[in-house]
Amino acid sequence: MTTAADSPLVQLLDPAHRADPYPVYARIRQSGPMQLPDSNLTVFSTFAHCDEVLRHPASASDRLKSTVAQRMIAEGAAARPFGPPGFLFLDPPDHTRLRRLVSKAFVPKVVNALEPDIAALVAALLDDAAAREDVDVIEGLAYPLPVAVICRLLGVPLEDEPQFSRASALLAQSLDPFVTVTGAAGDGVEERMQAGLWLRDYLRELIGRRRRDPGEDLMSGLIHVEESGDQLTEDEIVATCNLLLVAGHETTVNLIANATLALLRDPEQWAALAADPGRVAGVIEETLRYDPPVQLVGRIAAEDMSVGGVTVPKGDNMLLLLAAAHRDPELLDRPDEFDPQRPTIRHLGFGKGPHFCLGAPLARLEAAVALTALTARFPHAALAGEPTYKQNVTLRGMSELPVSLGVTSTRR
């Protein structure tokens, strides 16, 4: 039996593998489903298994259903000390009710209407970048774009950004599977808890302001729903805005940055996109497969489940290593190659089933506008050094991506 200490999962958590975790993922995938009974954990890493778990009716997202959580509650821990979680971590009927209330704001028709605003934001960011010649693409484009868009959508003042970006970064770390895998509390738990409390207080205060002075934004819309019936509570508005704010901060940045890096490592691809913006959809889907911003997701077995020849006992946590599944040789040829021209690109980068990413149309649009403008305007850009990665395992991404923009800057 594999123990937690010698598990390749521990290697996955090691920051030394963050720049290129894919060889570790391959080892895990080749060894088949992994069960760590002492940690009540089962890990799936092939495409077929991850796909099956995501669609399985006994797959739950509410962490309270796990044996680990139930044991802690039995030992006296509070069930939800910070109020309800975002609906990402809820099951029906609460998940269905809350998701329905915000889904209208994220359908393609509504999102596509944001395109002119997104294009204007991108143009302004690239104007600033052009003045500098060498830029960090994270700081100059990939981070500020999605942050400005989600703040505008939610009605969160961009001036407060420095404060909540720190909180959001800390909360993103709390999605890492350090507790379930190693059994250790991990570093920075207290700091992450404080960040969570701070962000909730911040949002509560902002909700108070919007209640007195509503705007056209999503937060004001949710407050209106709360005030006109018993469909949701203030705690649920806080949790929902918290989820959207963190999702808006910590994911699309990595899609834009990972695509930029993959294209720059293959200058022909960069030049091809610069010349033909019609290629951008392939670039985005291939990035979501090849180097996905969300590397893994979790589920809990609400019943005993049989997947991939193993029985997952009721209450076990399941880790689905999407980044490993996407390079499954059973799924496609040349899985370790970045090839946006593949005739079909299948991936689970936005999840699957009832929790399929609500922000997918928005993320795709932002990335499309950013990548077409960046390549068209700087067709001779090149890497100006190696990227630096954050420690995050789940929401893995770069903290710095140095790029030399090249001499030719074409104003679009």
Smallest gap from residue 406 Cβ to ligand HEM (A): 26
- Which is nearer to ligand HEM, 89 or 270 (by Cβ)? 89
Establish if 249 lies at the interface with ligand HEM (CB under 6 A).
no
**Residue 405 · residue 129 · CB < 8 Å:** yes
Partner residues linked to 319 by β-bridges: 43, 298
> According to CB under 6 A, which one of 101, 206, 358, 374 is a site residue for ligand HEM?
358
**In terms of C-beta distances under 8 Å and separation of at least 24 residues, what long-range contacts does 120-123 make, across chains too?**
121/145, 121/148, 121/149, 122/369, 122/370, 122/373, 122/374, 123/373, 123/412
Question: What is each CA distance from 393 to 14, 17, 112, 279, 284, in whole angstroms?
Answer: 9, 10, 31, 29, 21
Query: Which of these segments, 134-142, 202-210, 339-347, 355-363, binds ligand HEM (CB under 6 A)?
Result: 355-363
Q: Report the nearest approach of ligand HEM to the CB of residue 85 (Å).
A: 10
Sheet containing 382-383, strands listed edge to edge, beginning at the edge strand earlier in sequence: 134-136, 402-404, 382-383
Are the CB atoms for 213 and 207 separated by under 8 Å?
no
Please report whether residue 387 would count as binding ligand HEM according to CB under 6 A. no
Q: Is 53 one of the binding residues for ligand HEM (CB under 6 A)?
A: no
Q: Does the protein bind ligand HEM through residue 140 (CB under 6 A)?
A: no
The count of residues in the chain is 412
Alpha-carbon distance of 77 to 71, in angstroms, equals: 9
Window contacting ligand HEM (CB under 6 A); options: 26-34, 118-126, 170-178, 243-251: 243-251
Q: Would you count residue 359 as binding ligand HEM (CB under 6 A)?
A: yes
Q: Enter the DSSP assignment of 71.
A: H
Cα 111 to Cα 49: distance, rounded to the nearest angstrom = 32
Q: How far is the CB of 287 from ligand HEM (least distance, A)?
A: 9
Helical axes 218-227 vs 234-250, angle rounded to 10°: 160
User: Does residue 203 touch ligand HEM according to CB under 6 A?
Assistant: no
Among 244, 261, 369, 381, binds ligand HEM (CB under 6 A): 244
Nearer to ligand HEM by Cβ, of 398 and 405: the residue is: 398
Per CB under 6 A, 349 contacts ligand HEM:
yes
Applying CB under 6 A, does 357 fall inside the site for ligand HEM? yes
| Radius of gyration of the chain measured on its C-alpha atoms | 21
With respect to ligand HEM, which residue has the nearer C-beta, 264 or 367? 367
Alpha-carbon torsion angle 377, 341, 29, 315, nearest 10: 80
| Residue 248 touching ligand HEM (CB under 6 A) | yes
Closest contact distance (angstroms) between CB of 313 and ligand HEM is 20
- Least distance (Å) from ligand HEM to the CB of residue 98? 8
- Binding to ligand HEM, residues 59-98 (CB under 6 A): 61, 87-88
**Between 351 and 387, CB nearer to ligand HEM:** 351
315 binds ligand HEM (CB under 6 A): no
Computed from CA positions of residues 40, 45, 49, 54, in that sequence, does the dihedral angle turn out positive or negative?
Answer: positive
Taking CB atoms, the residue at the shortest distance from ligand HEM is: 359
Token readout for 307 is 């997947």
Q: Between residues 21 and 349, which has the closer beta carbon with respect to ligand HEM?
A: 349
Tell me the helices (H) and strands (E) count for the chain, helix number first: 19, 12
| Residue numbers at the binding site for ligand HEM (CB under 6 A) | 61, 87-88, 99, 150, 243-244, 247-248, 251-252, 255, 293-294, 297, 349-351, 355, 357-359, 362-363
